[in-house]
Amino acid sequence: MRISFAATSIPKSGYVALFVAEGGKLGPAAAALDKAAGGAVSHAMKSADFTGKAGALLTVPGPKGLSVTEVAIIGLGKPKDMTALTVRDAGGKALARARGKQGAPLSFIVDPVKSTKLSEADLAANLAAGASLSAYRHTPYKTEKLESVAAPKRLSVQSGAAAAARKAHANLGAMVEGVCLARDLVNEPPNKLFPKSFAAKAKQLQKLGVKVEVLGEAQMAKLGMGALLGVGQGSPQESQLVVMQWNGAAKSKDPIAFVGKGICFDTGGISLKPSAGMGEMKMDMGGAAAVTGLMHTLATRKAKVNAIGVLALAENMPDGNAQRPSDVVTAMSGKTIEVNNTDAEGRLVLCDALWYTQDRFKPALMIDLATLTGAIIIALAHEYAGVFTNQDKIADQLHKAGQASGDRTWQLPIGPEFTKMLKSQTADLSNISGGRGAGSITAACFLQEFVNDVPWAHIDIAGTAWRNDSRATCPPGGTGFGVQLLDRFVSDNYEG
C-alpha cells in the first residue's frame, strides 16, 4: 500500500475516514467535508449518538454532495487517554473497513485534537502506521484472486501538518517494514524457510548497509559449537549462524547485541512433540525473525547506534542421526551439557550463539529473544513476554519501551537457587531441571551460564510471537513481536 501525505481537501473518489475524539465534535477539515456533504456526517453522528469513544465506528454510505463511496467515522477516545498505540489502532480499524473494496483509494482526514500530548503530525503519522500494520497479509501461496480481502492500494493522509507528518512517519515506516519482514519470516512454511534460505533472506539486508556473514557447520565445528550443532544433526538441512552488523555510530562506541533463536521447525526431536498443533512450530524461529526485522529497521532509519544481530538457525528433527536424551555435548564455552530432553533445544542453540557474541564483539549489552518455553504462556498468556536479566535496569528500560510500543514485557526472577535445578550427575549442566516448576526461569538460568558478566536480558516470546486471533493492527499468525519493542528500546536508551 502506497502512503502519501497531503494538505486537506475534499476527496474525489474511494473511501474516506474521519477521526473524532470523545465529545463528538468535528475538526475543521472534517467539518468542511460534512458541509460539502450537506451535513450528512453530523446528522448521522447525531442520529446514532456517536460520541467518539475509542474504537467506535459509524459509516455514511455515499453521502450526497460527495463523489466518494463511503465515509467512515472512527472514535479516538478521550484526548487525555490518547497514545500513539490507540491512534494506530484507529488507523488499523479504518483500514479494515476499506479492505476488499476492489483497490479503491482510501483517504484519512486528520484534524488536530485539543488536550492531547500528540501533535497533529503525530496523529497523522501514527494513523498511517496503524493502517500499514493492519494492511499486512502473508499470501504468496494463495492462487485464487483476493479482491474480497485486499487492502487499498493507495492511502492519502490529509492533514494541515502534512510535511511534519511525512517526516514523523519516516521512522515509523521503517519500523513497520521491520515488523512486516519479521511476520513474513514467521509465516513462511518450513519447506520454504529453513536455515540456509533464512540466511539468504538475512543477506538481503546488505542492500541497506548491513554487513552480513554466514557461518556453516564446518566453521561452527571449528569454533566448538557442539550444543548448536547437536540440535541440527537430525536434519538434512545444514545449520547456520548468521552475523549482522550495523555501524551507525562512532567506531569507538561499543555495540549492543541481539541474539535470536532460529529453530526453523521444531518437532521436538527424539522427544517428539504431540501432533496436535505441531504445524505452528514453524514459528519457533520468531526470535531470529525479530532480530532480522530489527536490523532492517535500524538500517532503514539510519539509527545512530552500533548493533550486532546474531541468528542461531537449525531444524530440530528426529531422524536416525538425531541427538538422543542423555547425550552429552560440549558448548563453545567448554561447558558440557547433558541433553535430557531434545525438545529443550532452543537454549542449546542460544548458549553457543551468546558465547560467540560476547567473546567476539565484547558488547555493552546483549539481549536474546526466543520462543523458548511453553511455561511462559502459563504465566503470562499471550499478552506479555517474559524478561529475565542480570541487571534490573535493563528490565525497567524494556518495560517502558514495551508500554510505549505495544510489545509488552514483564520481569521474572532468576537466581542460583534455580540454577541448582539444572545440576547433572554426568555433565556440567542438564538442559532441563528435574521437575515441572519454574520452567521459564530455569531456562533463563541456563542461558545466564554463557553470558559471563556482560549486561544481558533474555526475552521469552513463546506466547507473543504468534497469535490465533486478530487485533486492530495484526492479523492472525506471526506478530513480529520484538521489533517495535527493541527499536523503541534502542532509540530511548542508546542513540543521541
In 335-381 the beta strands, taken as DSSP E runs, fall at 336-339, 365-370
- Cα 274 to Cα 242, 278, 324, 378, 475: the distances in Å are 30, 7, 18, 18, 26
Burial 245-266 (b: 16+ CB within 10 A, else e): bbbbbeeeeebbbbbbbbbbbb
Q: Which three cell numbers stand for residue 5?
A: 501525505
Contact 354, 415 (CB under 8 A): no
Beta bridge partners, 329, equal 337
Among residues 183, 261, 301, 347, the one annotated as catalytic is 347
Amino acid sitting at position 489: F
End-to-end CA distance of the chain: 32
Contact 18, 40 (CB under 8 A): no
- Cα 351 to Cα 86, 90, 94, 456: the distances in Å are 38, 41, 44, 13
Residue of 191, 178, 187, 180 whose CA lies nearest to 244: 178
Q: Which three cell numbers stand for residue 102?
A: 476492489
Among residues 35, 53, 273, 302, the one annotated as catalytic is 273
φ, ψ at 15 (rounded to 5°):
-115, 145
Helix (H, G, I), strand (E, B) or coil at 331: coil
- Cα 413 to Cα 215, 433, 459: the distances in Å are 34, 16, 12
> 163 Cβ partners below 8 Å, 6+ apart?
5
In total, the chain counts a number of residues equal to: 496
Helix (H, G, I), strand (E, B) or coil at 481: coil
Let me know if 273 is a catalytic residue: yes
Only one residue has cell 487525555, namely: 80
- C-alpha 238/C-alpha 240 separation (Å) is 6
Amino acid sitting at position 141: Y
- C-alpha 6/C-alpha 445 separation (Å) is 52
Let me know if 347 is a catalytic residue: yes
Contact 294, 178 (CB under 8 A): yes
Only one residue has cell 547456520, namely: 240
- C-alpha 290/C-alpha 273 separation (Å) is 24
Dihedral sign from CA coordinates of 125, 131, 133, 137: negative
**DSSP-derived secondary structure letter, 283:** G
Q: Which residues are catalytic?
A: 273, 347
